Structure formats: structure tokens, C-alpha cells
Amino acid sequence: MTDLALRGATYTLVNDPFLNAAEDCVVYQSDGLILIRDGRISAVGDYAGLKDQLPEGIETRHYPDALLLPGFVDAHIHYPQVEIIGSYGAQLLEWLNKYTFPTEAGFNDPARARKIAEFFIAELLRNGTTSASVFCSSAPLSVDAIFEAAGARNMLILAGKMMMDSRAPANILDTPRTSYDDSKALIERWHKRGRRLYTVTPRFALTSSPQQLELAGALMREHSDVRLQSHISENLAEVARAAELYPARKHYTDIYDHYGLLDERAIYGHGIHLSEEELRRFHETGAKIAHCPTSNFFIGSGLFNIAATKDQARPVAVGLGTDVGGGTSFSMLQTMSEAYKMAQLRGISVTAAQSWYLATLGSAEALGIADRVGKLGAGYAADIIVLDPRATPLLALRADVAETLDELLFALMICADDRAIQATYVAGELVHERDSNA
């Protein structure tokens, strides 16, 4: 791997600004320098202070008009749903039956899985997303396809085979035993191979039998460092159906809790309709939530309450997810914009620092990868984006009148999109450049 230095304004979160004073959370250098060695950041700081440490002959790329930031971390996304993004007119359960299950059946075909996996990884990088927690289809080969595509770019991707044995079309159902055996084989094949991490992925309580949830729990007990991802409390009809299917359980959270699926390695998409008692249980167990606002608006699921979730008295860790194809954009900038608007509808104004935290370090913390990505810091992976604050005429006009860094970052997260991602680096390699014709 080539050693490299990047020079420009640097901005990174180092702490959670929902729980700490903003000044203890943000590190900004108007003229910063990032030294990269063997794919990792070896030093980061003020250019004037660091320039004497530049090794002889090292290439320095200077981005005088841009912001250098940690790559975005998407805490929840479905790669086999790319082609159904923007599908009309249905709420969650109908949307799953009408659009989602049929498109996921296509991933029984390895050629289709490879083609969409390649597209998906390229689209993440075009949007400045360098890590993501990815739901595959129920076909094990769909996991092979995404891990192969991610590995070709040396990306830290978490992914898992959807476990689903009930209440969906036969061509995408597994059984408790095959889902266990296939997941175990995939863990052995992929977990910690390069930067890849395996995530046990029961779709949600509605498509799993008790036996399958039991075996998902067994996988988690048998593999102490794999993660778990699923869905919870996204839609009121879903919540009611979960109660019908699991009548012995106190509430939706108690279903997953009962089967050993609620701990600090677990992240659940949505959590819009969780009760105080359920949020307390998330806090106690250390389980996390992936907030997916573009999806919640689009599918009409409801308004997630970020302030209640991050309540200082019993905070629950939250990451930000696009939830494509229920979500409507790969752009974490657009997703931050919609998260802000959703909070506004609840009477809360999330700050710029809080929003950038959710999209980077917050998601990394929620996925258990914050020891290696989500921040610009020595020892962290050189997963870095170059953001152009003047990417469009409107952004340029707005940037010119921004009086503070916070104002600029806020306007960017509200108004910018993939056009503002000038370059994306993964493990110190340039993997996307907006203005190149390559």
C-alpha cells in the first residue's frame, strides 16, 4: 500500500455530542494534515505542526477548498433491494410482499447477485460511504457476492444471510436448520477475512419461527464476536402481528430478548414505536438502534424520537442508516437532512455536530467498529472522504455567506448529496473520484 498524505481542512467527531458538550466532541483544523501509512492514519493534526514529520518523498495531495472527513458509516442497508428503490404506494407489510420478497428471490441467481453487489459497492463509494451493515437475501450465495465485491476495495463491510423460515414466498424461505448451518458456514468462510465481519441476520420476528430465533441465539452464543442485525417496531401493524405470533412475550423487544438476541452486539432497524420499558431494556442490554429516516417517511412508518432514545438518564446508542430500498437515497447527507426534519416534527432541533456524529462515529459505535473507523485519528483506518462545499451553484452561494463552521456543515447536510463527494479513500487508496472519467 502506498504511503500518502492528505492536506486540507479536517473535521471529525471524537465523542457523542448527544451526551457531551459540543466542544468536547469536535476536532477541526482549518489547515490540517493526515499522514497515511499501510492503509491507516499514522498522524493527524495541524499542517504547520505536522509538516516536519512528512517522510522524505511522500506524495501529499492538497485539497485547499475541501473538507476532509471520516467516511460515512451506513448502519442499515439492504443490497438486494437496490432495484425496488422508490416503489409506489404501500406501507411496510404490503411493501414487503409486493416489492421486496419478489426482488430478493432474484438473488438465488449468482450472476444477478454479483452484478447488483458490484453496483451497490460502487454506489456506496460514490456517496462517500466507506462502511455499512448490509442485509443480504436468504441465499448464502448473496453473502458471497457482497463480500467479494467489498473485498476487492478492501472495505470494512458487515453482512449476513437473511434468516427467514415463515410467512414469505417459498422461494426465499429457509428452515431453522438450514439457516443455522448456512450462517455458520458463512461465518467460517468470511468473518474477519480481511476487513469483513459477519452479522447474524434474522429478518424480523414476523418471518421467523421460535425455533429459528432459538438457533439465531445459539449462533450468537457460539461466536462471541459476530454482530447481529434485525428489525423492530417499525410499523404499528407489524407490532400488532408480532404480539399475536408471540403471545407469551411482554412486548416486541421481549421476543428478541427471550431468545438471547438483545446485547451490545445487536443493532435493530427503526425502533419507532418502542415503549419506555423497551427503551430501558435496550439501554440495560447495550443493544443499539439504526435510525432510518428516509425509509420511515417513504413507507409512512412514523416519526422516530431521537431525543427520547438518547435520553441522558438511560441512553440507547443510535446509528444512522439509509435502509435502501425502503429508504430513498444512498446519500448519508440526504439521510442526515431527513433525520433533522423528522426530529423537527417532534419539536427537537438536532445540531450539525450531532448529525455528523450519527453518520460517522455514532454508526461506527452502534456497529461495534468504532475502534477502527468513524473518526480521523492515529491508528484508525484511512477511510476518508473529500467533501466539496461548493459542489453546485446553490451550495457555493450558501457557503459564501456561512459565517461559522457549524453553519456551513449544517447547510451542507441539509442541501448536499452525492455531487459533493469529490473523492473517497478506503484504507488509504483512492476508490472514487468525482471528476475523473475512469
Minimum Å gap between C-beta 65 and Zn ion is 37
User: Is there binding between residue 76 and ligand GUN (CB under 6 A)?
Assistant: no
Number of residues that bind ligand GUN (CB under 6 A): 11
Q: Which of 182, 323, 383, 417 is close enough to bind ligand GUN by CB under 6 A?
A: 323
Minimum Å gap between C-beta 323 and Zn ion is 5
User: Is there binding between residue 196 and ligand GUN (CB under 6 A)?
Assistant: no
User: Is there binding between residue 138 and ligand GUN (CB under 6 A)?
Assistant: no
Minimum Å gap between C-beta 76 and ligand GUN is 9
Q: Which of 47, 107, 190, 204 is close enough to bind ligand GUN by CB under 6 A?
A: 204
User: Is there binding between residue 231 and ligand GUN (CB under 6 A)?
Assistant: yes
Q: Which of 165, 182, 234, 383 is close enough to bind ligand GUN by CB under 6 A?
A: 234
User: Is there binding between residue 203 and ligand GUN (CB under 6 A)?
Assistant: yes
Q: Which amino acid is at 199?
A: T
Residue burial 197-210, b: 16+ Cβ < 10 Å; e: rest: bbbbbbbbbbbbbb
Q: Which amino acid is at 427?
A: A
User: Is there binding between residue 295 and ligand GUN (CB under 6 A)?
Assistant: yes
CB contact at 8 A, 200 and 216? yes
For ligand GUN, give the closer residue by CB, 106 or 194: 106
Stretch that binds ligand GUN, among 82-90, 92-100, 106-114, 408-416 (CB under 6 A): 92-100
Give the burial class of 276: count Cβ atoms within 10 A of its Cβ; 0-12 exposed, 13-18 middle, 19 or more buried.
exposed
CA 112, 118, 120, 123 torsion-angle sign: negative
> Strands, E, within 265-383: which ranges?
266-270, 288-291, 318-320
Helix (H, G, I), strand (E, B) or coil at 178: helix
User: Is there binding between residue 296 and ligand GUN (CB under 6 A)?
Assistant: no
Give the burial class of 98: count Cβ atoms within 10 A of its Cβ; 0-12 exposed, 13-18 middle, 19 or more buried.
middle
Q: Which amino acid is at 39?
A: G
411: closest CA among 427, 422, 400, 426? 400
User: Is there binding between residue 161 and ligand GUN (CB under 6 A)?
Assistant: no
Minimum Å gap between C-beta 326 and ligand GUN is 3
Q: Which residues bind ligand GUN (CB under 6 A)?
A: 78, 92, 96, 100, 203-204, 231, 234, 295, 323, 326
